[in-house]
Structure 1
Amino acid sequence: MRTSRKNVAFPMDSEVGDKKKRLHLKREVGLFSAVSLIAGTMIGSGIFMSPEWVLYYMGSPGGSLIIWAACGLLVMLISLCYAEIGTIITESGGEYIYLLRIFGPLPAFLLMYTSVFVVRPAGIAGVSLSFAQYVTAPFYQSCSSPQSVVKCTAAACVLVLLIVNTLNVKLATTIHNIFTAAKVIALMIIVVGGIILLANGHFRNLQNAFHGTVTGFGPVGTAFYQGLWSFDGWNNLNYVTEELQNPHVNLPRALMIAVPLVTILYVLVNVSYFAAMTPVELLSSEAVAVTWGNKVLANWMWLIPLSVALSTFGSVNGTFFTGGRVCYVAAREGHMFEIMSMIQVRRLTPSPALIFTALIALIMIAAGDFHTIVNYVSFTAWMCYGLILVGILYLRYKKPDIPRPCKVPIVIPVIVLIVAIYLVLAPIIDSPQTEYIFVIFFILSGIIFYLPLIHFKLHPGFMSTITLHLQLLLDVAPADEDVN
């Protein structure tokens, strides 16, 4: 661990450091890359794997389409709230830095502890496993891909992206932009295919669309979890605010472009699925996009596995890019090992934090279960979002006069907070599972590490020696190091 920086409540951009004299992360993320980072991370494995689960919990095509549209609306509203808080607190780190500046070190540490050791690596592992499933499938057409092959492929995906992200920020964002364009084209193929089917009279599966719709408290909440997994990544730009050009303008603008674009695509893609498949066919499909391709594209169906592979690879890259920043910012604030706060002196990338994130993700891959990862990551994420919304309302009350370049009507955070509470409580009330209790206990277990290491600052003496050796090995230096 290291000593925390001075706890400035709401630092302005000029406080990040003298760009000419200090080692720092460059502002290389422009508006196009910002939109690409959000949309490209959101469009991952979810839209190709979650539709059957949304249908399973809702019971009807009409109910499923409402959930997809409602997920998009909810993400739009909460992203507006994040645009407000992100233009007030312009530091990188997302929810971690917001909780730290508003509520203090303990809530921020617990969030970081959960995010760095579970949520972010689990997201990377889950999408990497999806990527591996689709990449290996053509080699095992008569049977399922061996788990050892799938997991080795997923691990290779993580290692390749580790190399890319540690080499150069611009290289990572350029690759992300290319893959985002490819995955949008892939979704447009499905959308256009659905429009052609509907134009030819394939309405049968959408007739009586709401027959059998489930309205239970718990199933609707769990259906939201599955749908919202496909939107995961909408807040990624808040993790790299210090690398965003003109954040006061580009942060809200990128959110307003990316989220509606992805929502429209998702709803139209699901309409296309229902135009091509009956609910029974969709529920029995192990890969709904591939089943759609077999029915609609015929000899061109190979485009779908290729599209899913491109989509998931790009999504892992976006999650990896931002996930390492949480670890880096937490270390810079004294809540992680000091080595994590350092930057590669020539490439200006937070390579130690990226390496650490990759190692945890590789461990997660060994126990990858897509469905379980979705539910428990979503459960944890919405607890966190609820705290941020409380923080926004708290700032409105305690600091009404601070500059707010992007200010939303107060009713929006209130509504989204109510929804967040519902999404956290719904699965527990309707179908209590011990796993949710384990998640809560894991979060609270962070207190065991916080008290001795952060509160009382009881740091083992040998850590300084280890840090020095790692610093020399990785050729890194603290972010505020004078390099003249």
Structure 2
Amino acid sequence: MEEPTQETDDDQRRKSEENVSSDLLHLKRRIGLVGAASFVIGVVIGSGIFVSPKNVLVYSGSIGLCLTIWVVVGLFVLIISLVYAELGTAFHHSGADYIYIKDAFGGLPAFLVVWVQAILQNPASRTLKALVFADYVDSLVSSTSCNLPRSIKIMIAVIELMSLAITSMISVRLTTNIQVFFTATKTVALIIIGVGGIVKLAQGSFGELKTGFEGTNEQFTVVLAVYSCFYAYDGCSSHCIFHLLFHPGRNIPLALVLSTFVIMTVYVLANVSYFTVLTKQEFLTSWTTWGQKMIGSASIIIPISVLCSIHGSNNGTTFGISRVMFAASREGQLPEVMSYLHVKSLIPTFSIAFSVPLFIPVICIIILLFLLIVPFVHKPQTEFLYAVAFIGAGLILYPLVYFQIKIPGYNHVTVFFQLLMNIAPPAKRE
């Protein structure tokens, strides 16, 4: 009979390393209903409500049609949210739109989605918000001293983006708590604006609301107003993080419906308040006049609220896009290292049962196709060709992805980032 050999330190170390295997590295469900709703509300309410109202009014031409568009688009987005709720409960994988499209239509359309989102749309959107964030910091500073130079504002934008990336890499719980805080802050600010309008109405002051539908523009211009309104609602179907939810069958539909309803309500109330306090010209020139008229010296609260709003929106977007890149990497369409998880926090550090009737998604697709085609037919612009060209560039790169062609030194780069960021590959699609 062989005597049992004594386990050496090397054996124990090897066993410990084996325990941290790919089979154990997977994304954990760490977000509840409040956190999920906060992510959706936080991503949607960025600078849109403070910028888009002007464009909606310019293109619609009248106060009545402007408010009607805010309500109708809100209801339409609510219907779209129901469609995404069904998809979210049916596909329990990270990646959201990317995974849905890949499973339904194949690799090429899915690659074009992640190509546009991860390489152009998302970085550009976050950078733009960060620059707006810096502009509002400048407005606060200039109220007490001189304007900041452009180089300082760019530095502020870079710091804002870096702080968001670091937060997302540290902890899901920390990111969620930050999102809840900033969502509550911006929602309270919009509620204050809405209550101000209600008080004015109760006092019998209707302001520009009395003009109704006077000055309504032609139908094709109204399409541009709808586009502008969609920008403010952009993100209501945000579900990149829904694979991290506890009880997804219950919480996904509730989070989407609740958050969309809250967003639509505060948007409409805020616009009603704007029109009861401001003239058309004031509304189109500077919405900050509302704060000066309603709360006087305390109007500094408004730009501070905008800062919180933009930061919260960027926080949610940064957290969500990392999950899309994680999923695309797991499917072999982005560098493999992007799918690796931190061995302790189980976060993709590098990449930082509900149903609806079939006619609902069909109607949504028809309306969205109409909104997509009309601008090309009625008023084509050179900028549209830039977007088409960028998507076409993805077609050129896709063969490299399809045939899994790797550049020399690819594996060495992957190992370098594994050691640098303490990450390892997960075992399966999540």
Q: Do both share a fold (TM > 0.5)?
A: yes
Is the CA contact 1:42–1:233 (under 8 Å) kept in the aligned structure 2? yes
Corresponding residue for residue 280 of structure 2:
279
Q: Contact 2:31/2:246 (CA < 8 Å) preserved in 1?
A: yes
Distance 1:210 1:143, change over 3 A: farther
- The alpha-carbon deviation at position 437 of structure 1 amounts to 1.6
Shift of 1:203: 1.1
Are 2:425 and 1:474 equivalent residues in the alignment? no
Q: Distance in 1 between matches of 2:142 and 2:372?
A: 39
Give secondary structure in 1 for the equivalent of 2:350.
Answer: helix
Provide the rounded CA distance (Å) in 2 between the counterparts of 1:242 and 1:23: 15
**Distance in structure 1 (CA, Å) of the matches to 2:242 and 2:264:** 24
Shift of 1:189: 0.8
Match of 1:187 among 182, 187, 190: 190
User: Equivalent residue of 1:126, what SS?
Assistant: helix
Cα displacement (A) at 1:208: 2.2
Query: What is aligned with 1:72?
Result: 74
1:255-334 equivalences in 2 (<5 Å): 255-285=256-286, 288=287, 290-334=288-332
- 2:407 is matched with 460
| Mapped partners of 2:325, 2:224: distance in 1 | 29
Q: Deviations over 1:370-398 (max 9, x none)?
A: xxxxxxxxxxxxxxxxxxxxxxxxxxxxx
Contact 2:341–2:348 under 8 Å retained in 1: yes
User: Does 144-153 or 322-331 show the bigger shift?
Assistant: 144-153
The residue number in structure 1 matching 2:98 is: 96
One-letter identity of the residue aligned with 2:179: H
SS of corresponding position for 2:341: strand
* Aligned residue type for 1:82: Y
Q: For 1:181 and 1:315, how far apart are their aligned partners in 2?
A: 12
Summarize deviations over 1:245-294 as a string: whole Å, max 9, x none: 12122111111111011101100100000011111111122xx1x22101
Encode CA deviations 1:213-242: one digit per residue, 9 max, x unaligned.
11322x2222122111111221222x1232
Bigger mean CA deviation after superposition, 406-415 or 295-304: 406-415
Are 2:393 and 1:445 aligned?
yes
Aligned length: 408
Query: What amino acid is aligned across from residue 194 of structure 1 in structure 2?
Result: G
**One of 225, 228, 231 as aligned partner of 1:229:** 231
What amino acid is the match of 2:99? I
Q: Deviations over 1:402-446 (max 9, x none)?
A: xxx222122211221111011111221221012112211211211
Matched residue type, 2:116: T
Amino acid in the other structure paired with 1:450: Y
Displacement of 1:118:
1.1
- Structure 1 residue aligned with 2:250: 249
**Is the aligned partner of 1:148 residue 2:151?**
yes
- Kept in 2, the 8 Å contact 1:33–1:173? The answer is yes
Q: Which residue of 2 aligns with 1:82?
A: 84
* Residue among 359, 384, 391 paired with 1:411: 359
Matched residues in 2 for 1:127 and 1:248: separation? 33
The Cα of 1:132 is off from its aligned counterpart by 1.8
1:155: how far off? Answer: 1.4
Cα 1:75–1:144 shift into 2, 3 Å: farther
Inter-partner Cα distance in structure 1 for 2:227 and 2:317: 18
1:58-69 alignment runs, 5 A limit? 58-69=60-71
2:8 aligns with: none
Secondary structure of the residue aligned to 1:331 is: helix
Residue from 120, 130, 133 that aligns with 2:132: 130
- The question of whether the paired residues in 2 share the 8 Å contact of 1:344 and 1:351 is answered with yes
Equivalent position to 2:377, from 397, 421, 429 = 429
Give the residue type in structure 1 aligned to 2:360: I
On the 8 A contact 2:207/2:278 being kept in 1, the answer is: no
Assess if the C-alpha contact under 8 Å between 1:221 and 1:422 holds in 2.
Answer: no
Task: Please list every run of 5 or more consecutive structure 2 residues that lacks an aligned counterpart in the other structure.
Answer: 1-19
Alpha-carbon distance between aligned partners in 1 of 2:148 and 2:100, rounded to the nearest angstrom: 43
Two-structure CA RMSD over aligned residues (Å): 1.8
Contact between 1:79 and 1:234, CA under 8 Å: does it hold in 2? Answer: yes
SS in 2 for 1:352: coil
Check 1:418–1:143 CA distance in 2 against 1; reply closer, same or farther (3 A cut): farther
Measured after TM superposition, the shift of residue 21 of structure 1 is: 4.8
* Greater Cα offset, 264-273 or 454-463: 454-463
Counterpart residue number, 1:30: 32
Do the aligned residues in 1 keep the contact of 2:37 with 2:258 (CA within 8 Å)?
yes
The residue type paired with residue 124 of structure 1 is R
Contact (CA 8 Å) 2:23, 2:426: kept in 1 or not? no
Match of 2:171 in 1: 168
- Conserved? CA contact 1:71–1:227, under 8 Å: yes
Contact 2:22 2:426 survives alignment (8 Å): no
Whole-angstrom CA distance in 2 between matches of 1:149 and 1:431: 38
Q: 1:144 to 1:71 in 2, by over 3 A?
A: farther
Give distance in 1, aligned partners of 2:181 and 2:298.
22
TM-score, length of structure 1 as denominator length: 0.81
Mapped to 1, the partners of 2:114 and 2:107 lie a distance apart of 10
Q: Does 1:214 align with 2:217?
A: yes
Query: Structure 2 counterpart of 1:260, which letter?
Result: F
Retained in 1: the 8 A contact 2:418–2:424? yes
SS in structure 2 of the partner of residue 301 of structure 1 = helix
Contact 2:22 2:424 in 1 (8 A): no
1:351 partner letter: T
Structure 2 contact 22–425 (Cα < 8 Å) conserved: no
CA–CA separation in structure 2 for the residues paired with 1:86 and 1:444: 29
Shift in CA distance, 455/117, structure 1 to aligned 2, threshold 3 Å: same
Q: Is the 8 A contact 2:27 2:244 kept in 1?
A: yes
Query: In 2 relative to 1, CA 34–132 (structure 1 residues): closer, same or farther, beyond 3 Å?
Result: same
Where in structure 1 are there 5+ consecutive unaligned residues? Answer: 1-17, 355-404
Amino acid at match of 1:318: G
The whole-number CA distance in structure 2 between the counterparts of 1:148 and 1:209 is 45
Displacement after TM superposition at 1:143 (Å)? 7.5
Residues in 1 aligned to 2:156 and 2:197: alpha-carbon distance in whole angstroms:
32
For the Cα contact (< 8 Å) 1:114–1:443, is it kept in 2? yes
Letter in 2 for 1:466: V
Aligned to 2:344: 346
How many Å separate the matches in 1 of 2:379 and 2:333? 35
**1 CA distance for matches of 2:101 and 2:21?**
27
